Structure 1
């Protein structure tokens, strides 16, 4: 936004909700698709999947956005791309190593890390109901983790790193100076292009290309279709993350992810064959899900209250203008200079006195100038 330009309009509640639903839907699709690639087809090459996703995103986002190519933007966005690469890799390793309900339970810690980073980095405080809801989610996740019969230390470590990096990534998306002059799709282009070399180096270092040649289903049509779908959906999850975080807040994006996980927990328990039912584990998952729903409902209520308050405040000048157009009596503003009405116009000028201007011209000039 250039100097002297008008401030950006506050997003409407409907726009905020649309961004949240877009993020939730994209996240569900990409998680289930990548889980099918790893579990149903046995394709255990997470770095290759991440590389394919970024290779798909880069040309598509450039064609759509046509962003300005600048080394200054490269330098500013390089740290964001590095965090994104680490985040994607940890997420894919965690998805491959854990059943869906357990993966989702551990993803609850994203909220905790977001709150901690906002508190100690951005100096932002949170009220006790917010902290209590997060506590319920974390407690349920710990109960579920303690009774997980398919315990995978590597998967647990990957998901917890994924949680921390996701929180850091969301906060950087919202607060990186280099993102201010870019559209969401343009920012996505830079992020994918800068991520590609790092992902390629990691893939080669891990030896995935040589091992992948012996994968038995590599030329299977069904596998190739699902792998292509997982690569293409990487565009929607990255784009929706940017959109939701820019329109809302990092904590709201984390909350949307937790609310989406409530549905995924139920579906994931039946869609894949790696979930072992255990009563205490199921109870922990239910407690964690309940905390997520509580937090989401409370956030929605607070957003609605804020919207109503803002709408009431915006009605004050509108009421004044309505009275002005009706030609009714103009009430005096408390503490305003003599002759100024609730609409912000001088009664002397409205009568056309001494200025040589029409009523509409005088009224328009005064609406554009602040009261002295």
Structure 2
């Protein structure tokens, strides 16, 4: 990827993805900008899991879908304000001072083009949020580590993307480590495990869709986020209404507690930045790289989750499995940075 950018991108307050970037090949090396996007994603992901877990478990908030709805509303509000104040643009190469040519700030044709991405995003958000509830944090991150396998399969189906032997070997280490780490958790919740694997599948489809539309749709990261919000927001609002989640939220006993409100606010802020860095990391690097970044940040998620929320017992097999998983993630990062 060339390091030169057009004038509008040079003056942007935040970096945006480059849809004109050619497809990532199995031997492409990560740029410095791509590395920054990957690290920023990992920081936001760790914090978001902690805030969501605190709302759903510590405060026993019963409506995961409502948290997702709040996150969408906040994200669209941030994007709308920044676009109106000419701080960002939604279309790649468009000056930030350009006037809005439609009510939704995005042409209708472009919205239709991003509809598959928005639907994949909605399924990804709902499944991911629900998966946090029924599984302890260490086991959640262990099971989520197998997402990379689903991502590689989906990328092969959509783009016929193939990977080198070192990449496949690093993924195999991660999967083996995940099963070893989870072998002690014999009293598992079948529903919780099923939802986590469903979240893995939806995540793989979502990231692969970003990888394709992010390079062909003409939108930057902010534009893709905006389309997701205005398409999925009304759908999720209707869904939470017919399920009675909005009524449960109004009657929630800790709704006005300062601690709960602080957790919800921080969750919404982190969700905004997380979604931005997911788009940026996936379009600058690849869907598999984005998934591997999720594995690398698990070290901090597991450590903090163990201290704050408890969960999986400490034993040799669990430590061995976690070590293999982190070693596989580190091996992939090394191969990617070297461009082998």
Listed one character per residue, the Cα deviations across residues 12-64 of structure 1 (whole Å, up to 9, x for unaligned) are: 82111111111111111111111111122111311000000000011211232
> In the alignment, what sits opposite 2:41?
23
CA distance, structure 1, for counterparts of residue 34 and residue 215 of structure 2: 23
CA contact (8 A) 2:121 2:206 kept: yes
Alpha-carbon spacing, 1:47–1:14, altered in 2? closer, same or farther (3 Å) = same
Equivalence for 2:171: 134
Structure 2 equivalent of residue 242 of structure 1: 279
1:19–1:177 CA distance, 2 compared to 1 (3 A) = closer
Query: What are the within-5 Å matches in structure 2 for residues 90-109 of structure 1?
Result: 90-109=127-146
Deviation at 1:177, TM superposition (A): 7.2
What residue number does 1:39 align with? 57
Deviation (angstroms), 1:150: 5.2
Distance 1:300 1:156, change over 3 A: same
Offset at 1:229?
Answer: 1.2
Q: Which residue of 1 aligns with 2:75?
A: 57
Please tell me the root mean square deviation across aligned C-alpha atoms, in Å: 2.3
Deviation at 1:103, TM superposition (A): 0.8
TM superposition score normalised by structure 2: 0.81
Does residue 274 of structure 2 align to residue 256 of structure 1? Answer: no
Q: What's the CA shift string for 1:193-242, capped at 9, x where partnerless?
A: 11102211222233212223332211111111111111222111111101
Structure 2 Cα separation of the partners of residues 12 and 126 of structure 1: 15
Change (3 A) 1:9 1:175: closer
Flag the structure with larger Rg.
1
**Are 1:154 and 2:191 counterparts?**
yes
2:31 corresponds in structure 1 to 13
Tell me the SS of whatever aligns to 1:124.
Answer: coil
Whether 1:79 and 2:116 are equivalent positions in the alignment is yes
**CA distance in structure 2 between the aligned counterparts of 1:119 and 1:91, rounded to whole angstroms:** 23
Structure 2 contact 138–301 (Cα < 8 Å) conserved: yes
SS class of match (2:297): helix
After superposition, give the CA deviation of every residue in 1:251-278 in whole Å (9 maximum; x if it has no partner). 1111111111122222221121333334
In the TM superposition, residue 93 of structure 1 has moved relative to its aligned partner by 0.8
CA distance in 2, matches of 1:290, 1:115: 19
How many Å apart are 1:293 and its aligned residue?
2.0
Segments of 5+ residues of structure 2 without an aligned counterpart are: 1-5, 7-17, 23-28, 85-89, 91-104
Partner residue of 2:10? none
| Counterpart Cα distance in 1 of 2:232 and 2:215 | 16
Q: Which moved more, 1:22-31 or 1:49-58?
A: 22-31
With over 3 angstroms needed to count, the CA separation of the structure-2 counterparts of 1:46 and 1:179, relative to structure 1, is farther
Paired residues, number: 298
Q: Which residues of 2 match residues 303-342 of structure 1 at below 5 A?
A: none
- Of residues 119, 141, 144, the one that matches 2:181 is 144
Equivalent-residue separation in structure 2 for 1:209 and 1:59 (angstroms): 20
1:200 matched to 2:227? The reply is no
Q: Is the Cα–Cα contact under 8 Å of residues 214 and 283 in structure 2 kept in the other structure?
A: no
8 Å contact from structure 1 (residues 23, 240) kept in 2 = yes
Cα distance between partner residues in 2 of 1:281 and 1:34: 24
Equivalent residue for 1:188? 225
The farther-off stretch of 226-235 and 169-178 is: 169-178
How far did residue 113 of structure 1 move?
0.8
SS of 1:126 mapped into structure 2: coil
Could you say what secondary structure the match of 2:248 adopts?
helix
Q: Provide closer, same or farther for how the CA distance between residues 273 and 9 of structure 1 changes in structure 2, counting only shifts above 3 A.
A: closer
Name 2:336's counterpart in structure 1: 299
Q: CA deviation at 1:123?
A: 0.9
Deviation at 1:145, TM superposition (A): 2.7
Name the counterpart of 2:13: none
Preserved contact between residue 74 and residue 268 of structure 2 (Cα < 8 Å): yes
1:287 to 317, 324, 327: 324
- Partner Cα separation in structure 2 for residue 176 and residue 187 of structure 1: 9
| C-alpha separation in 2, matches of 1:157 and 1:200 | 25
* CA-to-aligned-CA distance 1:321-369 (integer Å, 9 cap, x gap): xxxxxxxxxxxxxxxxxxxxxxxxxxxxxxxxxxxxxxxxxxxxxxxxx
Q: 1: distance between equivalents of 2:300 and 2:338? A: 21
